[in-house]
Structures are given as C-alpha cells and as structure tokens.
Structure 1
Amino acid sequence: MALEDSLTSLSRYVEFSYDNFNSYSIEMVRILLSAGSEVDVVLKDICKILEPSRKVKNISDYRDLISSKSLCFDGRLVHIPRFGLDFEPWSDWSSKEPLFWWRSYNKVKHQRSSSYSEGNLKNVLYAMAALFSANVVLCKLNGISKVCPPPSMFRSLDGAARVMGSIEGEQCLFVH
C-alpha cells in the first residue's frame, strides 16, 4: 500500500500515459527498486507455500517451481482504471528470457550509473502491476479472501480478483 501511495503521488507530476513511458526520475528509480524487491519477496513466499523444502534463489527458480505447479502467471491482466492502462506483466515469463521490467530492475540495482534511465515510468508501472498480481496469488494461496483496504490504483482483469463493495460500502479486494 505504501508503494501504491508513492505511485499515486508520482501521478501528480507525470501523467501515466504511453507517451510518458520513457520518462525517468530518482523517484521512479526508488519505486522500481522497491517494487522489484517486493516482487522477489512475494515470489519466494509463493514458492515456500508450493514446495516448502525446495530452495529457490532467483527469478528463474521461482518461474520453474511456480510453472511446475501449474500456477500460471502468464495472461494475468492488470488494469489502472484511472488512466485507462492495461498491463500483462508476466506475459513472457514462460520463456527462458528475463522479463523486460525485471531486467531493468536488476540493471538499475547493479549498474545504476549507466542504467539510470531504466528507472522509467514503463518499468515502474509493469513492476507494480507484477507486484499487485503476485500479491493476489499469495493471498489466494494463504486462504485470504478479503483484503481491506484494497489497492486504490490497480484492478485485476483476469478473474483472479475483483473489487466489490462490502456491507458498509467500503471497497475491498476479494480473491477467488
């Protein structure tokens, strides 16, 4: 939620549109590094649930284990209604090539001086969409069916989760 708040604040200064996807800044670098790190943590947690005794150490290991359990991340669509943007952050995860936003996250993390511009809006939004969808999967695996407060910016378009009103009219994220 804190990262989503940072993203919401960023949207006051940079319009989230395809035209601005190459924009970069120190704040975008910070969000990309934080989101990438959180994706790593969430994927490790998913792997621990799926196979507690198996050691996983990188995104390739996560992909191999998650795919072997028929838990498909490919095709998970994430929508930002406020800006009319759709993302499929795991679209090429089944290939042996790293995801473009993950590769950029690692470039910024390990080679910041030469890869600073990789901390751009496109990579930030894809990393945040990936974090959102990975969290939806983690909640489902943990038996959590209702998360309040819900994410304010992201919505799932693939049926893995949907936003509904609660009894009191509060918006909550229900995971099926």
Structure 2
Amino acid sequence: MNLDADNFLNQYWKYYLTLEEEFIELEKIIPIDSVNENTFSLKYLELLFSICSEIDVVFKQLLLFKEYDGNPKDWDMPDYMKFIKENCNRFTQEKVIYNNRIETSPYFEWSENKNLTWWIKYNLGKHHRTDKKEGLENYKRVNQKTVLSSLSGLYQLELYLFAYITKENPIEENLRVPAPPSKIFELKNWEHNRSFIADFMILE
C-alpha cells in the first residue's frame, strides 16, 4: 500500500489532533478525574462516535498497508484483533499515559480474547441508543472514562501505523512520533529520536 509519512500526517494525524483538541476543550468543563469518570454528556457521545469511526478507518489502513487478506469493506474488530495478535504481541500490553498521571491499556482485553469495553459501549450507543439495562439507557453509559479509553486507543493505533510507515524508509526509521506531537498522551517506553519544545521538533 502506497502510504508515506507525509500522507499519513495530512490524512490521519491532523484529524486525530482535531479530535484531541475537542477532548481538551471538554476537559476545561469536566476535568479528568476519578470522581468524573462516570460523567455522561452528549458531547462525549458525539466525540466517541467520531473517535471510534476513525479507529475503524485507521485499522483498515494498517491492514491494507500490511497487505492483509480479504476485502477492507468486510473487515471489522475481530479481523483487527486477529491481525494484532498474529503480528504485534506487544500491542495489547502497551500503556498510554495521559498527562503524566493516568495510565490506560486500551487494547488489553484483546490479550484475554475479550471484546473491548469502550467499543461495546460505542456500538450500544450507536445502534441501541435508547435501550435500557438496569434502568439506564445505553447512550448514558458513554462517559468520560469511555472516551478517554477510546481516544488513547486511537492515539496508540496511529503511532503504530506511523511506525510501520517510517520503518519502510531507512532515513525515517527512528522517527516514530508524528509531529506536532499529542498534547496529552505518550506511549510508555516508546523509543524514538525526537524531542519537542512546544511544537518544535529536535532530532537527537
């Protein structure tokens, strides 16, 4: 699949940063904190739909890039899990750090052959929005924790796709963090040779 670093930055990373900015704006109203993790908001619901839709798009691009068998139109989460478990075992163990204080492992459930909780909530909110369980509508189960987990999952996925792309080019093989970087996330123990002061990049 013909996808280079510049195309990735323009077609995928810029959109990720847009979603991240929306999340940051919401944080100004509802601070990220354990007391708020179950807070419901229609803005969270809207943002989750956008994030998970993009996760599907980026996973398809990753599988296309790695020449995975099948028709991209038919690929869904079981295919993505199968690909990950066959090709990158470390993926499910990765830890995404939010603002140097909160660690999430957005794909850990795949290591136990379970469906992702935040993806389940996305599907319930999208397809069975007003159905109730224990007296609570599905769309109200989309909360701050759900959105933080899904956004960290998109961030991790984007870094993996970028790493695959840059490894195809020996000149770029160590440039494993897109620029400008995320303002809120980093991947624990993710090796690269970039340092940032504000949005300015320095090669080490």
Q: TM-score, normalised by structure 1?
A: 0.87
Residue among 116, 141, 147 paired with 2:164: 141
Between the aligned partners of 2:202 and 2:40, the Cα distance in structure 1 is 31
For residues 71 and 49 of structure 1, the distance between their equivalents in structure 2, rounded to whole angstroms, comes to 18
**Cα distance in structure 2, aligned partners of 1:101 and 1:162:** 32
TM-superposition CA deviations, 1:2-40 (whole Å, max 9, x none): 110000000011110111111011100011111111111
Aligned-residue CA RMSD in angstroms?
Answer: 2.3
Cα pair distance change 1:69/1:164, threshold 3 Å = same
The reply to whether residue 64 of structure 1 matches residue 69 of structure 2 is no
3-state SS in 2 of match to 1:147: coil
> What is the aligned counterpart of 2:196 among 159, 165, 168?
165
Equivalent residues in 2 for 1:119-158 (5 A)? Answer: 119-143=142-166, 145=175, 146-158=177-189
Q: Which runs of 5+ in 2 are unaligned?
A: 1-16, 132-137, 167-171
Report the equivalent of 2:3: none
- Cα deviation for residue 72 of structure 1 reads 3.2
Q: What CA distance in whole angstroms lies between the structure 1 residues aligned with 2:200 and 2:102?
A: 21
Amino acid aligned to 1:118: R
Q: How far off its partner does 1:149 sit?
A: 1.4
Is 1:95 aligned with 2:112? Answer: yes
> 2:54 aligned with 1:31, yes or no?
no
Deviations 1:26-59 (A, max 9, x none): 1000111111111111111111122244335111
Deviates more, 1:8-17 or 1:113-122: 113-122
1:85 pairs with 2:102: yes
Change (3 A) 1:133 1:173: farther
Deviations 1:119-149 (A, max 9, x none): 2001000000000000000101111625221
- In structure 2, C-alpha distance between the alignment counterparts of 1:129 and 1:42, rounded to whole Å: 14
Which structure shows the higher helix fraction? Answer: 2
Q: Percent identity?
A: 24
Point out 4+ residue stretches in structure 1 off by more than 4 angstroms: 160-163, 171-174
Trace 1:107-126 onto structure 2 (pairs within 5 A): 107-114=124-131, 115-126=138-149
Contact (CA 8 Å) 1:24, 1:119: kept in 2 or not? yes
Larger radius of gyration: 2
What SS does the aligned partner of 2:91 have? coil
Task: Give the secondary-structure state (helix, strand or coil) at the position aligned to 1:164.
Answer: strand
Taking a change above 3 Å as real, the CA distance of residues 160 and 30 of structure 1, as seen in their structure-2 partners, is farther
Do the aligned residues in 1 keep the contact of 2:181 with 2:199 (CA within 8 Å)?
no
SS at match of 1:79: strand
Residue type at the aligned position of 1:165: F
Equivalent pairs counted in the alignment come to 171
